[in-house]
Structure 1
Amino acid sequence: MMPTTFAGLGAGGPIMALLAVLSLLSWALIVIKILQLWHSRSGVARRTQAFEQWAEGDKHAAKATLEHGKSPADRITVYAMQALTKGIKGPALEAELTRLGNDELARMNGMIRMLEVIAMISPLLGLLGTVLGMIQSFQELELAEGAANASVLAGGIWQALLTTAAGLLVAIPAAVGAGLMSARIESAAQMIESAVGRLLLIEDHPEL
């Protein structure tokens, strides 16, 4: 994608330059989000072990098991364990856990909207470049009063269509990246809810 985009800078003018910038931006965002979300669904086995320790009454060991967890579910669960150890329960704890969970979700969703915007506007920019190029080609044909070389006209149309292809090449990775990462974030959010719910249930009913 990148070689094609930069190869068309001269043919597509400012729109191709803008699409090249959007391509670089989208790939940078994708890499950043991959690194950020790498551990977002990790720690399932670790949390299972911690819950077993909590149910057995070894709360210190349970907290120690999760202290170095890297997933949002680990962090929220550790906070819940610390609060329960201090005697904080009921609606107050649930409200605070909801707030922390929303903060984690907002952090994970950061910059996803930008990818979605890039995926939405890139094809439109490509289409705009094509329309402007076609207008220019037919203006040249009109000025030549029908005597224009067919190969010259075809070359102008080819250059115009190039911006549409470039717009799609920018939009597709951005759309795929945003979709896959949104699915991963949703799964991570479900893990947070599941972990907290499991801990609170064990706290009230250790025998389960």
Structure 2
Amino acid sequence: MPVSLQLPEWLVSGGPTMWALTVLSVVALATLISKLLQFARQRPLSSRRADALLDALERGQSPSQPGRLSAPVDRVIWQAWQQQELDDDSWEEDCLRRARQALEPLHGGLRILEVISAVAPLLGLLGTVFGMISAFQALEQAGSQVDPAILSGGIWEALLTTAAGLVVAIPALAAFHWADRTIEQCREKMQDRLSQLKILRRHHRGAPVRVAASPKTADVAHAS
């Protein structure tokens, strides 16, 4: 049995462009599933253990040792607290470095979703243009015996790729913005907890407490 008879008619009618969009949809879906699993495992919005550390320090208590830290905010805050021997400048540089290292893996796959959301509509439009050209060529070859079904059928097949491109692009764009916003919230939480830890660190070392975070610590908001 021919392969074309085993495939949906809309897929065959769309031509090579539809095949390209199908591949992009599979890649986008695989990337989204990968991000969901990664976020479920690392919990970028969680700061429970970091908050417990800060709360214990505010009460003047010795924080209990945590177990395995999977959340980026928890991991960076606890690692920063353990670097007591560093001076203030070195400590801030170390915090910034650790924050970048924690946030970098979360960006994996975002570029793929962004590119697919931009390329898919263009591919769909390109397929529509090729389909319209083929439809009008068929209409020209028909000569004086023009059958409206030739034109309408060609246009219908051509518009399939535009619809497919939007179907692929819209979920990919939504997934990209969801993941990007989640990482942004993680970055904001990390910056806030580091600022609190800096104040508590100065207090424990007997230095004057300054509420404003230094530019180096504030740079965590742009770490990626």
Structure 1: gaps (5+ residues): none
**Match in the other structure for 1:76:** 76
Matches of 1:134 and 1:145 in 2, distance apart? 17
Give 1:23 shift. Answer: 0.3
Give 1:7 shift. Answer: 5.1
C-alpha root-mean-square deviation of aligned residues, in Å?
A: 1.9
1:139-183 superposed Cα distances (whole Å, 9 cap, x missing partner): 011111142321132111100000000000000000000011111
**Match in the other structure for 2:50:** 47
Give 1:10 shift. Answer: 0.3
Pairwise mapping of residues 7-86 of structure 1 onto structure 2 (< 5 A)? Answer: 8-38=10-40, 39-44=43-48, 46-55=49-58, 56-59=60-63, 61=64, 64-65=65-66, 67-84=67-84
Matches of 2:166 and 2:142 in 1, distance apart? 33
Change (3 A) 1:28 1:89: same
Give 1:49 shift. Answer: 1.9
- The question of whether the paired residues in 1 share the 8 Å contact of 2:138 and 2:150 is answered with no
Task: Give the SS at the match of 2:146.
Answer: coil
Detail structure 1 runs of 4+ shifted over 4 Å in the superposition.
none
Give 1:89 shift. Answer: 3.0
Q: TM-score, normalised by structure 1?
A: 0.88
- The question of whether the paired residues in 2 share the 8 Å contact of 1:141 and 1:147 is answered with no
Pairwise mapping of residues 89-128 of structure 1 onto structure 2 (< 5 A)? Answer: 89-128=87-126
Whether 1:134 and 2:132 are equivalent positions in the alignment is yes
Give 1:43 shift. Answer: 2.8
- The question of whether the paired residues in 2 share the 8 Å contact of 1:6 and 1:20 is answered with no
- The question of whether the paired residues in 1 share the 8 Å contact of 2:14 and 2:158 is answered with yes
Task: Give the SS at the match of 1:13.
Answer: helix
Letter in 1 for 2:176: A
**Match in the other structure for 2:189:** 191
- The question of whether the paired residues in 2 share the 8 Å contact of 1:83 and 1:89 is answered with no
Give 1:118 shift. Answer: 0.2
Letter in 2 for 1:48: D
Task: Give the SS at the match of 2:82.
Answer: helix
Identity among equivalent positions (%) equals 35
- The question of whether the paired residues in 2 share the 8 Å contact of 1:12 and 1:160 is answered with yes
Letter in 2 for 1:78: W
Structure 1 window deviating more from structure 2 (125-134 vs 67-76): it is: 67-76
Matches of 1:178 and 1:53 in 2, distance apart? 37
Give 1:35 shift. Answer: 1.7
- The question of whether the paired residues in 2 share the 8 Å contact of 1:43 and 1:69 is answered with no
Q: Which structure carries more relative contact order (alpha carbon 8 Å, separation 6+)? A: 1
Higher helix share: 1
